[in-house]
Amino acid sequence: ASLLQRFQSTLVIAEHNNETLTPITLNTISAAKRLGGEVSCLVAGTSCDKVAQELSKVQGVAKVLVAQHDVYKGFLAEELTPLILETHKKFNYTHICAGASAFGKNLIPRVAGKLDVAPVSDIIEIQAPDIFVRTIYAGNILCTVQCDEAIKVFTVRGTSFEAAPTSGGSASLEKLTPPPPVGLSEWIEQKLTKSDRPELTSAKVVVSGGRGLKSGENFKLLYDLADQLHAAVGASRAAVDAGFVPNDMQVGQTGKIVAP
Ligand SMILES: Cc1cc2nc3c(=O)[nH]c(=O)nc-3n(C[C@H](O)[C@H](O)[C@H](O)COP(=O)(O)OP(=O)(O)OC[C@H]3O[C@@H](n4cnc5c(N)ncnc54)[C@H](O)[C@@H]3O)c2cc1C
């Protein structure tokens, strides 16, 4: 197995906002390290030098590949995919992965499709470079899959792997030339909910409300409690469906995965 692991090389697609790295990238790097081979990270953005620097210090990352272009505004899968394919052509990875977030779930299936391989989604454990554990039926069954594809393309459930330490690493930085824009889609705008509370998916404490709260106004009780506990606030689907709170607060199978 160790001989096999020596020949692994993994590309982690970094998720970020051009300013900071999204925490799930660090969990994904830990998963990539479990594969045993060299770990490279691809940072694509409009102006992401800061993120590349941040990544180069993460333990276990050997190389940070940076591609900057206006076309990566909004991190569209249509534009990122050709870049990933070009990068793969150059370095010939055995594994390509990203976090199982909205970003990764949007991107990785497209990459796998273009490579003509079946992706493995939402892995929670790596047993061998080709054997992954993933959940099915809303987490009621754990499924161990052996992936026979030449290139393993997968998404990683962030809450199942520790975050890689953000200091102590010394990765080399390499600039990539972005391939020509595809122009299939265009990023127009995004409206982000601003909150001083911890982010739901990575919060250590979560206070969640359900239908019993009876109205959106009553969620104020939870916000006050959460602020005392430095907690994030979540909601059940029933509360979201009833219109008490927006659906980005929903926890669960059709909502966000939390690991307090
Ligand atoms: C395919 C599928 C996917 C789903 N995905 C999700 C998901 O991702 N996330 C999710 O949350 N749900 C999901 N659901 C729905 C889930 O099955 C439950 O129906 C839902 O979570 C119940 O929410 P609740 O506990 O808020 O509501 P309820 O089950 O209605 O519970 C409310 C509770 O509050 C109590 N209560 C009411 N008034 C008061 C009061 N004044 N004081 C004290 N207690 C009171 C009630 O007695 C009851 O026990 C999904 C369902 C399906 C079919």
157 annotated to bind ligand: no
The answer to whether the CB of 234 is under 6 A from ligand 1 is no
Euclidean distance between CA atoms 152 and 96, whole angstroms: 6
Q: Which two tokens stand for residue 174?
A: 């390499």
Percent of the chain scoring above 90 in pLDDT: 87
Query: Which residue among 137, 207, 211 is best mutated to probe the pocket of ligand 1, counting the most ligand atoms within 8 A of its Cβ?
Result: 211
The answer to whether the CB of 250 is under 6 A from ligand 1 is yes
Q: pLDDT by residue (tens digit) across 122-134?
A: 999 999 999 999 9
Which residue did the predictor score with more confidence, 200 or 32?
Answer: 32
Instruction: Taking residues 246-258, report their average pLDDT.
Output: 91
Hey, whose CA ends up nearest to atom 34 of ligand 1?
212
pLDDT of residue 3: 53
Instruction: Taking residues 163-176, report their average pLDDT.
Output: 97
* Domains, the chain, ordered by start: 2-175 (3.40.50.620), 200-249 (3.40.50.1220)
Residue 6 has pLDDT above 70, yes or no: no
237 annotated to bind ligand: yes
ipTM, interface predicted TM-score of the complex: 0.93
Q: Which two tokens stand for residue 110?
A: 């497209």
The answer to whether the CB of 218 is under 6 A from ligand 1 is no
What burial letters (b/e) apply to 221-254, b meaning 16+ CB within 10 Å? ebeeebeeeebbbbbbbebbebebbeeebbbbee
Angle at 191 between CA 188 and CA 192, to 5 degrees: 135
Q: pLDDT by residue (tens digit) across 22-32?
A: 999 999 999 99
Instruction: Taking residues 139-158, report their average pLDDT.
Output: 96
The answer to whether the CB of 185 is under 6 A from ligand 1 is no
Helix axes 102-115, 77-91, angle to 10 degrees: 50
HSE (side-chain half, CA atoms, 13 Å) at 76: 18
The answer to whether the CB of 254 is under 6 A from ligand 1 is yes
Residue 99 has pLDDT above 90, yes or no: yes
How would you classify residue 220: left for phi > 0, otherwise alpha for psi between -120 and 50, otherwise beta? alpha
State the chain's mean pLDDT as an integer: 94
Q: Which atom of ligand 1 is nearest to the CA of 235?
A: 11
